[in-house]
Every structure is written in structure tokens, then in C-alpha cells.
Amino acid sequence: MEFNATLLGQAITFAILVWFTMKFVWPPLTNMMDERAKRIADGLAAAERGKQDLEAAEKRVADELRQAKQQATELILAAEKRANQIVDEAKDAARTEGAKLVADAKAQIDQEVLRAKESLREQVASLAVSGAEKILRKEIDAAKHADLLASIKAEF
Amino acid sequence: MASNATEYIQHHLTFWKSSHEGGFWTLHLDTFSVSLILGFIFLAVFASVARNAKMENPGRLQMFVETIVEMVDTQVKEIFHAKSKVIAPLALTIFCWIFLMNTMDLLPVDLLPMVAQWIGHTFFGADPAHVYLRVVPSADVNATFAMSLSVMLCIIGFSIAAKGLGGWTKELFTAPFHAEGLVMTIILAPVNFAFQLVELAAKPISLALRLFGNMYSGELIFILIALLPVAFQWILGAPWAIFHILVITLQAFVFMMLTIVYLSLAVEKH
């Protein structure tokens, strides 16, 4: 063991090494590493946030899908109901129309019948009158007995 | 063989000195240059990595450097709770530099000395028997004490920075034994001062001698193994070298850890 100026030289070397490390090695490396750690943490947080967003979006999509399905079902039900209603209405209309047509036809027929009866009666009356005329020509003055004739005619 | 072996060992344990007279101003050129080169290698590698550090896709070298930095940073943050810009780079430098200096131990004991002898003989016409080179700087007390005394200066500096010059001086005389009353304080002051001096001196001495002892003994055993017949050297040499991979790392780590611990103690109040 011999101490000499080497000790001083070594101490100076040591001081220079420490100074250099302190100046040019440690700060850039640790800064970079801290920054990287921060970036990784940020990235992880962003990923977590993205995952949550995705979950929320998926939930919303499911909700809207369910709602849409429900609406569609409701629409279909309403449409079916409406269709039934229309069919029923159409049936009713057709039925009333038919009934009306039948009634009209019946009325017309009745009228025709009535008219036919009327004309028949008139014809019968005139025939009877003419018969009676022929029979009573001499006895009955048409002019004199006009009232009588008319009442008889009306009686037919 | 005996005198031959003694000569061989002595040759290996002699420093390459700047002058043959000895005395304080003699430099150990081998310790100085090897440690300087290793220090520059450390700085070159780490500074270039730090300069070109990429946040994404770091290369292998960058990952390696980051691992070491991370390890040092973790230790410093766990032990040293005050804020300091110096302590982490200091710890990193200590760890890497000591590790590199210790690693010289794993080179074959005759490799660099023989290269030095060849260069000295060929280019400078020196007598090979008088060309000396000790390649393990940490097996030189000057190197280890240079570091541990620097650490001691840091301890004092940190103490003064944390407690003020007055606080530090006061603590020199009032701790570890706390006295009550003026008389007891005066009586205990020299005792406290003696204790503090011993404590202060013990730290650098233990740091330096631990590292020096380990590396010196390791080197000595490698030299002894080199005295065995060539065919048998590996039987002892290989296990010892493998064991020394652990020792060199451990010694560098211990020096670094103790430095951090001492400095954290220095800033804490007693």
C-alpha cells in the first residue's frame, strides 16, 4: 500500500466522470424514460377510455335496435289492424251497397208492379166502362152520368 | 522456481511508475491510464446512448443502458428521499466505473503486461523485466481511496447543505450522545466529537479497503494460479474466474449502495 499523487489524479478523473454523467448522461436518459413511461400510461388510459366508449356505443346500438324492433312491431300491428278495419269497412260498405241495390231494385219492381196494376186496373176499368157503355149505351148518357162513371172508374 | 515465482509475483505487483525514486508525486501510470480509458469508455457508451435515445424501438444497447440506469434510479429513490441532482449520476458513475475496473481482473493476468513488455521492448528499447503494468485499477489503494474520499467529501457537503454549516458543526459535538444542561454538554462534547470523527473516517476507509481487498486478493490468486502448470490452470482458474464475475459485480454494487446509504444518512437529522 503506497499512497501518492495517483490518488489525486484518480479523484480528479472521478470528479470529471461524475460531472459528465450528471450533465450529459443522466438527465437525457431519465427524462426520456419518464416521458416514455408517461406516454405508455397515457396510451393505456386512452385504450381503457376507448374500450369504455365502445361498450357504451354497443349498448346504445343494442338499445336503438331494440327500440326499432319494437317500433316495427307496433307499426306492423297497427297496419294489420288498419287493414282489418279497411276490409271490415269495405265489407260493410259492400253489404250496405248491396242492400241498397236490392232495396232499390225491390222498390223499382214494386213500382213497376204498381204501375202495371194501375194500368191493368185502368184498362180493366175502361174495358168495364166500355162494356158497361156498350150495355148501357142507350140508357146512360155519358155526359149525364159522368160523375157516376168517374166514381166507378175510381173504384177499380 | 521459488525465486522465479517470487520474481514473477513481484513483477506483477509492481506499478508502472512515473519516476523510480518514489515519493508522493510519483504517479501510477497504469492505474491512472487504465481507469481513465475505462472511464471514457463508460462515458462514450452512455453519452452516445443518451444522445441517440429513442423513445420507441430502443436498440439492444439502449435497453442495456436503460436497465442499468433504471436499477440505479430505483435504488436511489428507495434509499435517498431528499431531492438531489448529484446522487443518482454519482451512483451510476461509481457502479459502472468500478465494474469496468474490476472487470480487468477477468483478463488473463499476463495478457496486457506482456503486450506492454513487447511494446516497451520493441519501440522504446526498454528492459522487459522493468516494464511493469498492473491492469486492475481497483486493486490499487489510490484508486479506491480516491473514490471513497470523494464520497466522504460528498457526505460532508451534503450534510452542510442539508443542515447548514452551523447545524453540521453543532451536530459534530452534540451527537450521538445528547446531553441535558450546559455542564453535561461541555463534558460530552469531546466524546461526541471523537465519535463523529471515527464515524466519518470509518466510512471511506471501509469503502476503499473492502473494494481494494477483494480485488487485490482476487488478482493475487489469479497470479498464483498462473504459476501452475499450463495444463492444470483451468481447474482452478475457471471456477475462480466464474466466481469473480459475481465478486466484481457485487463489489461495484456494494460500493454504490453504501455511497447512497451514507449520503442519505448525511442529509437526515440525528
Interface touch B142/A7, C-beta < 8 Å: yes
The secondary structure element, H or E, covering residue B71 is: helix B60-79
Distance in angstroms (rounded) separating the CA atoms of residues A149 and A143: 9
Of A7, A30, A39, the CB nearest to B145: A7
Domain parsing of chain B, residue ranges: 2-267
**Which one-letter DSSP state was computed for residue B178?**
P
Q: Which residues, listed in sequence order, are joined to residue B28 by a DSSP beta bridge?
A: B17
pLDDT in tens, B22-48: 777 888 888 889 999 999 999 999 999
pLDDT in tens, A57-83: 999 999 999 999 999 999 999 999 999
Angle at B37 between CA B156 and CA B16, to 5 degrees: 90
Distance in angstroms (rounded) separating the CA atoms of residues B2 and B7: 8
Contact status, residue B32 vs residue A10, Cβ threshold 8 Å: yes
Distance in angstroms (rounded) separating the CA atoms of residues B102 and B98: 6
> Dihedral of CA B113/B118/B120/B123: which sign?
negative
C-alpha distance from B92 to closest chain A C-alpha (Å)? 8
Query: pTM score > 0.95 for this model?
Result: no
Q: Which of B150, B137, B154, B148 is nearest to B254 (CA)?
A: B148
Q: Which residues of B touch A18 (CB under 8 A)?
A: 86, 89-90, 93
Q: Which residues of B touch A38 (CB under 8 A)?
A: none
Q: Is A50 helix (H, G, I), strand (E, B) or coil?
A: helix
Distance in angstroms (rounded) separating the CA atoms of residues B35 and A64: 74
C-alpha distance from B209 to closest chain A C-alpha (Å)? 11
Q: Which of B189, B234, B242 is nearest to B218 (CA)?
A: B242
The secondary structure element, H or E, covering residue B80 is: none
pLDDT in tens, B163-196: 888 888 888 888 777 777 778 778 888 888 899 8
Contacts of B260 (CB under 8 A, 6+ apart): B75, B76, B79, B80, B87, B91
Interface touch B150/A11, C-beta < 8 Å: yes
Give 10-residue mean pLDDT values along chain B (270 residues). 73 80 80 92 92 85 92 91 87 94 89 86 81 87 92 91 86 78 81 89 93 92 88 88 93 94 83
Q: Which residues of A touch B150 (CB under 8 A)?
A: 11, 14-15
**What is the Cβ-side half-sphere exposure of residue B216, based on CA atoms within 13 angstroms?**
15
Interface touch B85/A29, C-beta < 8 Å: no
Which ipTM was obtained for this model?
A: 0.88
CA A119 to chain centre: 61
Q: Which of B214, B80, B210, B219 is nearest to B148 (CA)?
A: B210
The number of beta carbons lying within 10 Å of the beta carbon of residue B112 is 17
Interface test with A, best of B16, B17, B27 (most A CBs within 10 A): B27
For residue A51, what is its C-alpha cell?
Answer: 374500450
Q: Give pLDDT, residue A142.
A: 65
Q: Which residues of B touch A13 (CB under 8 A)?
A: 32, 35-36, 39, 146
Contacts of A25 (CB under 8 A, 6+ apart): B43, B46, B47, B50, B89, B92
For residue A143, what is its C-alpha cell?
Answer: 155526359
| A43 at interface of B, judged by CB pairs closer than 8 A | no
Q: Give pLDDT, residue B1.
A: 42
Reply yes or no on whether the pLDDT at A135 is more than 80.
no
Could you give the residue numbers annotated as active site of B? 206, 210, 214
Q: Which residues of B touch A29 (CB under 8 A)?
A: 46, 49-50, 53, 65-66, 69
Query: Which chain B residue lies closest to A21 (C-alpha atoms)?
Result: B89
